[in-house]
């Protein structure tokens, strides 16, 4: 009986590959392996330094005086460990020379310890001690400059004035503020 026909090739080809694999398999493995020594040695794994905390209060001091007191429902470490924090349900008090200057609340946040910037998103509200109220979808608090900045739509209200616009810079120290974009102002 002679081996012929397409049906017989279905089992002959895999059989031939299996029988000849010792000859061609090492060359294929070498060709497909990555360059360099990428093998991980067992037991030398880098320990995981990430963390998650709930109901956290963080305080920041400058020159022996409180600068920032931040409460969060949940805090997770960022990519850089303790130098960056991801925050949920943020409630922060901002201070200048030991005096409370503003109260900020927001849904989510990010604190960059290297640059000393607190970024908040989701229904952010800032109430300053001079009774100014600022509402925005997102904002950044630049700690070294005691300045709140946003590029989002804002709603800014005080006792005598209401301002709506796009983008704002507000210095907590001096009380100076600047609103950008198309500005609508209502004076009482």
Instruction: Give the model's pLDDT for residue 171.
Output: 86
User: Looking at the domain assignment, is residue 33 inside a domain?
Assistant: no
* Residue at 147 is within a domain: yes
**Within a domain: residue 68?**
yes
pLDDT of residue 119: 92
Residue 41 in any domain: the answer is no
| pLDDT tens, N- to C-terminus, the chain (188 residues) | 455 666 676 777 788 888 888 888 888 888 887 766 656 566 656 666 678 888 989 888 888 888 889 999 998 887 766 678 889 999 999 887 778 888 999 999 998 888 889 999 988 998 887 778 889 999 999 988 888 899 888 888 888 888 888 888 888 888 788 888 888 888 87
Q: How many CB atoms neighbour CB 16 within 10 A? A: 11
- In angstroms, rounded to a whole number, what is the distance separating the alpha carbons of residues 142 and 120? 12
Residue 153 lies in a domain: yes
User: Is residue 74 assigned to a domain?
Assistant: yes
Query: Alpha-carbon dihedral of residues 109, 140, 66, 131, nearest 10 degrees?
Result: -110
In a domain, 57, yes or no: yes
CATH assignment of the domain containing 166:
2.60.450.10
Q: What three-state secondary structure class fits 32?
A: helix
At residue 3, the pLDDT reads: 57
CB 73 within 8 A of CB 58: no
DSSP 112: E
Residues spanned by the domain of 99: 52-187
Query: How many domains would you assign to the chain?
Result: 1
Q: Is there a domain that residue 35 lies in?
A: no
Residue whose C-alpha is closest to residue 128's, from 107, 103, 105, 152:
103
Contact between residue 121 and residue 138 where contact means Cβ atoms under 8 Å apart:
yes
């Amino acid at each position: 009986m002679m081996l012929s026909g397409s049906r017989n090739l279905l089992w002959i080809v895999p059989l031939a590959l299996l029988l000849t694999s010792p000859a061609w398999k090492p060359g294929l493995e070498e060709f497909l392996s990555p360059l360099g020594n990428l093998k991980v040695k067992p037991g030398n794994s880098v320990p995981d330094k990430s963390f998650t905390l709930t109901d956290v209060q963080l305080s920041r001091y400058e020159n022996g005086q409180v600068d920032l007191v931040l409460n969060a429902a949940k805090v997770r470490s960022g990519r850089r460990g303790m130098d960056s924090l991801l925050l949920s349900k943020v409630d922060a008090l901002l201070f200048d020379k030991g005096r409370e200057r503003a109260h900020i609340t927001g849904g989510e946040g990010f604190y960059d310890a290297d640059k000393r910037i607190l970024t908040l998103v989701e229904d952010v509200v800032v109430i300053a001690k001079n009774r100014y109220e600022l509402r925005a979808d997102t904002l950044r608090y630049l700690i070294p400059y005691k300045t709140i900045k946003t590029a989002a739509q804002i709603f800014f209200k005080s006792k005598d004035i209401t301002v709506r616009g796009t983008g704002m810079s507000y210095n907590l120290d001096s009380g100076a503020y600047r609103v950008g974009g198309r500005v609508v102002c209502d004076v009482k």
